[in-house]
Structure 1
């Protein structure tokens, strides 16, 4: 009886103890749950996830130019993900994903037992939902508290979202190694493919990455990556996602992974850097993570053409000045079979379109060479190396080569001169193409927008515009004779000359601009006064700092960038308006919402002045009459003057002006039609002379011609239409006065209506003019 009583008491106290512990644990658990719940983030924020995605820059025609940002990511909808790729992740990470409520309690118990038995934490028990919780809502710290929060949040997420949404979040966020986040980025980084192009083996390889991207990475450790891939394939087989045959075929596949970079669809790196700086200025570091898509004004075809035109022009200039022969290795050191190991050709960079190569054989005017990858043999015909003159290439010599448009190979060298090219839409200022040098990676200095170069004779249209506004006409005669100018503060007098060092006596303004007579523009500026030309230059967008207040201004002794010169000539192309160059058409958010849309002020020749003031129109800076006369003069430069090389394009509507500075330090051509204005420049960064005869018409014009051949294809010619207030008169070019219709030396000239000559040249009379029924030929150009 005593034993029964004792046993009963023990059971009673045990029950009390157990109940107390249970209630205490429940109470503690309840308070812990409440405390943790109060600190939990809101799972509803996952409805509006902002993935960290890079800044992407596109051309106007939707071609990728560049991406900026540490994280490579392309978010996709779950419908865009192949089912077998989803199955691969299910097999690798969470085979009961579609059955559990967000937490795999069996897995957690197994992980807990493992900890109790070994005292060591091992990865396990985390479902895909729990990984989503960790990646989006919690940190990666390894504590029991964080694990409890993870479990609680996973249950909440499963209650709030369907399984496919949770899977989509996971597949877009998970880290895949090599700065790739999400499956779409992984497909691009490792295979250069879209998700739909991946094979089964590649699905499994990608699905194997999240467990340990640094260990199972096919670039870093191919053997372990294949081992992990095959494990995933085996799990897919066990779960009946693939057949035995599919498993066998895929597991035998070698790794096809190769680190891929984002491949631009067009090359516009100087423009891309301009965009990057502007977006960073607007948004700061957010620019690189918010997934902005910037659509520029660049035309893909025109940009590619501009790149090629600049490259070809620099090579042509370089070849005119000879081969800079330098032998890197002695011939005696060469053994063809071991050349790649003995010679540093593999260490030399690709610069622009020039590739390092090693000469293997020279025979029968044919050079056989091997490119730096040591696999491809190329042949260089004599025709493609004759520019090097008497240079003798030898076996074992390291050279540079480039592939020509006809797919043959040519001997080349990295040009020492540099160049720039920019094209604008003259109606609104949109930059259609821009390149700032031979190779952006060699030198990021953007000569199209940053260089301060003398524009030379390219500035003369400012002088002549001023003259026409001051009452001169295209027929006005200025004496092309020697002139001596005292420069205060200078030891020597200035004795300017024409380029050919000749003088031509009385010369019309039309002839002077056509043949770029320096003396005429200097005398003209002297007669008008420098301050008047300065005022005109300011209207055209120049600043006080850029314009010297001396007579040297007539020869373009200030400074400008190629972009600024293109803007100047856009005024002549668009009817007299000053447009503002721009390069960003619109900016879209990661969701496709337009957050910025350019609204450029446009040229409107048909609008009256009141409309220009009240609407989005660019300011008119020269009258329609002055603009017409300047177009007439600048077309003559192409048809009869210093830019006749452009006549090869077979068009009558081309206009522009060459520019050459002292000692040929800069060569320019600024030219246009009504639909496109473009400036080409070539020179040395250190201002070294380009060499004798390297004028704008020789060195820079070919770049412009090559570009315009493509830019104007299928574009009809635009005739020069006389505005109201312009009349034609038949004059003697020697006097600028009216002449009889019978005068075989007479020409038609345009005048503003109030500037038409009223007198006849000596020997002519109104009566003589009226006595002939013969009508003079109207051939102004």
Structure 2
């Protein structure tokens, strides 16, 4: 027997022994591991961790919360080229093996023997599914055998398409992205169906090492991996030579995209997050809930702009306060220094429309500035510098600057914003110190249509709509006057607008309330007193009405009686309320006398499309009366997109009707007076809306520190507030009508487009009578200055009617002093 034959037999024998040994090892491992294998059937019902997503009523994304960004897609939604890219990168034999690629495992074993370490796992896509869904990431032989056995079971239980779908939705691809749809959004800001071949190959290269091949952190290394995958796709016949060459020339276009929101409503999103956390705990972030809010996207964007424009307008007229900070600059800035300075500006960061900028040089009529991204531009004199005044105090500003150097110097770090004019240009600005808030409701059901808790959430996450309890000032007076109208007063009741002094027995102090302008008008009608916002009349009205009776009455509007002051300062709005409290109260005026409760979540939908919560607000039925509540109410808010999520689960709820809290006569009278605030009172600026149904009230507190306007039209009720978080003075010439009202007007101008006017029906028990405007009595025949006024039929003046003297007039026994 030759040596060759002998060696061949030995080799064959060793091979047989090795094979038998391998079979024995495999069988032993199977017997040991198989009883511990998890059920593959669980994959059919697997629940991927999916973030909480929040939408507007019209289907626009306004918020997303969850550590793992994931947007599961079906295999039918994945482009074929994308699948090919992953097969080329991870498992080109996927469709021919049964879960395990023997050649790949042998290759991995060979690498282990020759190098002494595991170079690659030889894993198929099916094995990766087994690992990702059932196993840890540790590299041990036991785990590898478990992975193999599970892969075989998975192939028996699921189709290839099901396995690919599980894989493509589960894999981690860096930057908190799990699954290919999330990765497409994270790196390219668009869905998978819009990716080109080069971008698909780039993402397909990430599973091997998400950090090492991250195209944002390591673009050069990621490009090498991408090009290798493109080469593999070409060699496997997945793409043509032309496609390969085109994709190879594609530059690296990936960058870190945040969640791409359709609507900027961070304060609403945070309210929803807290609500969902209270309902479902931490699972709210990962169980794939969808929340449909009541917010309308167009109204939210309008509210955002109105508030920013309002605080900018206030801030601008109070003058430029100077640079945010100052950097010492070298005499000559080289390219490396320019890049470093630009990076420092990037770190300071943009806030809203305000970009940080560094002043490089100042001439007489212009300034050269550097922005992030190494963009250098010029602030021109005629683009706002020539009109800029400097802040001296809240009540004083300087004359307009005559040179740019009066405002800026080299090294100043400032804020600039892009103009709204065409052509657009950069202009000097600053971060406002004043803050603001806006909240708008559907007056008929309390649905929050828009909400802005501050001019920028990044600047301050404090929600001033729901958290900032501030003095409403005269914004509260309509509630006191409504109580008076329901207790014997009429719009023509004469009350003296004259000085008054109260002595405090407890502290020995005196209280001398006054009107905002420091003047007194003498006797005047109740209607005039409200639309002119006369403080002293309001105090007298409250005193005649009685504090306890007034507090009991205004609690009908939703105010907490225990938190209201039991003294006459109640008439001046000295207590603290949030804008949400105030707008809820004004909704009663807007809807004709019914109490509605504000809400912002319309429905909550689980990952399977089932509605697990649906709002059931009490609604106003404008066509119903108290004796017939069987008629249809106004339509509830419905989401008119996301139909695929909401379909099949939209059964109508049995309506619940809102309770009437003020009778229709009083509702009509106070609405009439609040309309006069617009037509002839402190809210006259709102006449620009050209609405016959607009009504509301200004509010300004002592200092002044708080400016308000609350009003309504066309079934929408809105409150706006402006002030400093630190309760600083706004300036002696600032009022609700100068700060808050312009914000309200800008918002309502857009909100009321295509909404018809809505006037309250005059009740049969209300009549219109000609009166003497000076006495409130019935006018004499032919009286030239007579006016018409509304009265209830039971307290209208007659020919025998003589208006009694005001209880606060001369000769009164009340403990007051008239000057």
Give the TM-score taking structure 2 as reference length. Answer: 0.87
Aligned positions of 1:315-326 closer than 5 A: 315-326=312-323
Q: 1:607 aligns with which of 624, 628, 643?
A: 624
Cα distance in 1 for partners of 2:587, 2:366 equals 48
Partner of 1:592: 609
- SS of equivalent residue, structure 2 residue 618: coil
> Structure 1 pair 357/116, CA: closer, same or farther in 2 (3 Å)?
closer
Residue of 708, 715, 720 corresponding to 1:675: 715
Aligned counterpart, 1:177: 174
Within 5 Å, which residues of 2 pair with 1:279-294? 279-294=276-291
Alignment of 1:544-559 (within 5 A): 544-559=561-576
Q: What residue is the counterpart of 2:388 in the other structure?
A: 387
Answer with 719-728 or 203-212: which moved more: 719-728
CA shift, 1:110, in A, is 2.9
SS of residue paired to 1:662: coil
Aligned mates of 2:253, 2:520 — CA distance in 1: 72
Identify the residue that residue 401 of structure 1 maps to in structure 2: 416
Within the alignment, does 1:274 sit opposite 2:283 as a pair?
A: no
My pick for the range that moved more, 25-34 or 315-324, is 25-34
Partner of 2:377: 377
8 Å Cα contact 2:379-2:428 kept in structure 1:
no
- SS at structure 2 position matched to 1:52: coil
Match of 1:561 among 561, 578, 594: 578
Per-residue Cα deviation, 1:247-272 (whole angstroms, up to 9, x for no partner): 23322332111111112222111111
Distance in 1 between residues matched to 2:426 and 2:365, nearest whole Å: 14
User: Cα 1:413–1:29, aligned 2, differ >3 Å: closer, same or farther?
Assistant: closer
Alpha-carbon shift at residue 383 of structure 1 (Å): 5.0
Cα distance change of structure 1 residues 554 and 215 upon mapping to structure 2, 3 Å threshold: same
Matches within 5 A, 1:84-123: 84-123=81-120
1:360·1:368 contact (CA, 8 Å) conserved in 2? yes
1:14-55 alpha-carbon deviations (Å, 9 max, x no partner): x9xx99x97x99898667535533221111111122111111
Matched, 1:302 2:280: no
- 1-structure distance, mates of 2:324, 2:462: 30
SS in 2 for 1:483: coil
SS of the residue corresponding to residue 375 of structure 2 reads: coil
Closer, same or farther in 2 for the Cα pair 1:652/1:243, shift >3 Å?
Answer: same
Alignment of 1:460-499 (within 5 A): 460-499=477-516
Query: Does the 8 Å contact 1:336/1:360 carry over to 2?
Result: no
SS of the residue 2:703 aligns to: helix
Task: Report the counterpart of residue 660 of structure 2 in structure 1.
Answer: 620
Q: Deviations over 1:662-706 (max 9, x none)?
A: 111111000111421111101111111111121111111100011
CA distance in 1, matches of 2:144, 2:487: 84
Residue 153 of structure 1 pairs with residue 155 of structure 2:
no
Moved more, 655-664 or 600-609: 600-609
CA contact 2:473–2:700 (8 Å) conserved in 1: yes
Give the direction of change, closer, same or farther, for the CA distance of 1:253–1:327 in structure 2 (3 Å limit): closer
Measured in 1, the distance between the counterparts of 2:600 and 2:400 equals 47
**Distance of 2:208 and 2:439 partners within structure 1:** 50
Cα distance in 1 for residues equivalent to 2:32 and 2:659:
67
- 1:213 equivalenced with 2:210 (yes/no): yes
Distance of aligned partners of 1:462 and 1:117 in 2 relative to their CA distance in 1, 3 Å threshold: same
Once the two structures are overlaid, the 10-residue window that deviates more, 604-613 or 687-696, is 604-613
> Are the counterparts in 1 of residues 366 and 404 from structure 2 also a CA contact under 8 Å?
no
Kindly provide the CA deviation profile for residues 409-454 of structure 1, in whole angstroms up to 9, marking residues without a partner as x.
Answer: 3321111111111111101111111111122112111111100100
Return the offset for 1:724. 2.8
Q: Equivalents in 1 of 2:695, 2:367: separation in Å?
A: 44
1:645 deviation in Å?
0.7
Pairing 1:434-583 to 2, within 5 Å after superposition? 434-583=451-600
Flag the 1:133–1:352 CA change in 2: closer, same or farther, 3 A.
Answer: same
1:775 is aligned to none
Tell me the alpha carbon deviations over residues 213-243 of structure 1, each in whole angstroms, 9 at most, x when there is no partner. 1111112222221111111111111111112
Does residue 756 of structure 2 align to residue 705 of structure 1?
A: no
Question: Partner of 2:660: helix, strand, or coil?
Answer: coil
Contact 1:54–1:290 (CA under 8 A) maintained in structure 2:
yes
The answer on 1:78 being equivalent to 2:81 is no
SS of structure 1 residue aligned to 2:730: coil
Structure 1 Cα separation of the partners of residues 550 and 87 of structure 2 = 76
Alignment check: 8 A CA contact 1:612 1:618 kept = no
Distance of aligned partners of 1:724 and 1:387 in 2 relative to their CA distance in 1, 3 Å threshold: farther
Report the CA distance shift for 1:334/1:284 in structure 2 as closer, same or farther (over 3 A).
farther
Name the structure 1 match of 2:816.
Answer: none
SS of structure 1 residue aligned to 2:767: strand
Residue 482 of structure 1, CA deviation: 1.8
Aligned partners of 1:249, 1:564: CA distance in 2, in Å?
Answer: 61
Aligned residues: 746
RMSD: 2.6
CA contact (8 A) 1:102 1:154 kept: yes
Is 1:690–2:705 an aligned residue pair? Answer: no
Q: How many Å separate the matches in 1 of 2:166 and 2:613?
A: 28
Does the alignment pair 1:416 with 2:413? no
* Bigger mean CA offset, 322-331 vs 652-661: 322-331
Matching of residue 58 in structure 1 with residue 51 in structure 2 = no
**Per-residue CA distance 1:161-192 (angstroms, 9 max, x = gap):** 11111111111111111111111111111111
1:364 shift after superposition: 7.8
Matches within 5 A, 1:626-637: 626-637=666-677
2:394 alignment partner in structure 1: none
Q: Is the 8 A contact 2:714 2:756 kept in 1?
A: no
Q: Indicate if the aligned counterparts of 1:653 and 1:718 stay in contact, CA closer than 8 A.
A: yes
Within 2, Cα distance between the matches of 1:214 and 1:648? 58
Looking at structure 2, the residues matched to 345 and 35 of structure 1 have their Cα atoms a distance apart, in angstroms, of: 61
Distance in 1 (CA, whole Å) between partners of 2:320 and 2:688 is 29
| Structure-to-structure mapping, 1:615-764, within 5 angstroms | 616-759=656-799
Task: Answer yes or no: is the 8 Å Cα contact 1:457–1:556 preserved in 2.
Answer: yes
* Aligned match for 2:245, one of 244, 248, 253: 248
Q: Deviations over 1:696-733 (max 9, x none)?
A: 11111100011111111122222342023211111112
Contact 1:222 1:255 (8 Å CA) reproduced: yes
- Which secondary structure state, in structure 1, belongs to the residue aligned with residue 619 of structure 2? coil
Which residue of 112, 133, 136 maps to 2:133? Answer: 136
Report the TM-score, using the length of structure 1 for normalisation. Answer: 0.91
**Alpha-carbon separation, structure 2, partners of 1:756 and 1:168:** 77
Shift of 1:510: 0.4
Return the offset for 1:315. Answer: 1.2
Where in structure 2 are there 5+ consecutive unaligned residues?
1-12, 390-398, 631-653, 804-819
Q: Is the 8 A contact 2:105 2:122 kept in 1?
A: yes
Paired residues of 1:52 and 1:290 also in contact (CA < 8 A): yes
Alignment partner of 1:225 out of 218, 222, 225:
222
Alpha-carbon deviation of 1:196? 1.6
Query: What is the CA-CA distance between 1:590 and the residue it aligns to?
Result: 2.2
Question: In the aligned structure 2, how far is the partner of 1:480 from the partner of 1:348?
Answer: 54
